[in-house]
Amino acid sequence: MNTIRRNLVKFLVALPLLAMLSMPANALNLAQAKAQGLVGETPSGYLAVVKSNAAASALVKDINAKRKAAYQNIARKNGQPLSTVEKLAGQKAINNTPPGQYVKIGGSWKKK
């Protein structure tokens, strides 16, 4: 389980950088979308749209696909179910979300 956590921490640290590098300069990036309250973290380990916006929806779709691929890799390396990795990632992402950004708790969006 500790190996899963270490790999997950490495992934979560690298994720914002990867998201910023994969977007054109004029496109919405993850930091902007979170700061604007357009997207938030969920317990499932994936992002979701808080306020409907085409650019935010495209961003969420792209990042979630990358997260899923990374989670599958971590799960495979550690012999764990994908759902275990997703749940751990969701908990870490929510815990690491700074004040003022949105997280989904108990099925409702809450501003931390």
Which pLDDT band, with edges at 50, 70 and 90, does 5 fall under?
confident
The CA angle 41-46-51, to the nearest 5 degrees, is 55
All structural domains of the chain with their residue ranges: 2-111
Beta bridge partner(s), residue 39:
49
Whole-model pTM? 0.77
Q: How many CA atoms lie within 13 A of 65 on its CB side?
A: 6
List, for residues 40-79, the tens digit of each pLDDT value: 999 999 999 999 999 999 999 999 999 999 999 999 999 9
Outline where DSSP puts E strands in the chain.
Answer: 39-41, 47-49, 102-105, 108-111
